[in-house]
Amino acid sequence: MIREIPIRLIDYDSEPYIAVLGGPLWLGYHEYIRGKKDRCREIIAAFLASVYASRPMERSTEQFVREIYRERGLPMPADKVIADHQIVQEAAERRYDRLHLPVLKSILSRGYFPHEGPVPTVTECAGRYLLGDGKNRCSILAAMQWSMVPNVRLVE
């Protein structure tokens, strides 16, 4: 079912104790909008690095971690927990530069088009919504002071 969801009721599915509104992605994007672009990168990359080992299914940061290990001729650790923290931090910064920043700039310059690209997906749980796909888009909208996220897929 496709519907509009209040941002204030959305939490991350990967970290259900973190709300979109006021969460680390929101905080970073909010700083960017305030003109503190370096602070945005710092906040978001630190968050991505901090959750790297706790997200077993996460592959976005991992692709950059693999890239850096390969560039340095190092074997990729079998377990994320033992990955070199400096490499993980650098990977998170690359992820921000190549994935997060272009989405942010696009939404800020062109606007948000809810019918373009993947639809944010949520699961309803105890009156709140756990956000799977769309964490960055929803966090950007929250930082832009939107109160609702349009065109969200409710997964049952």
Residue 143 pLDDT grade (very low, low, confident, very high; cuts 50, 70, 90): very high
**Of 75, 45, 78, the residue nearest 60 (C-alpha):** 45
Enter the DSSP assignment of 8: G
Per-residue pLDDT tens over the stretch 25-43: 999 999 999 999 999 999 9
Residue 146 pLDDT grade (very low, low, confident, very high; cuts 50, 70, 90): very high
pTM here is 0.93
CA distance 150 to 83: 38
Per-residue pLDDT tens over the stretch 88-120: 999 999 999 999 999 999 999 999 998 888 899
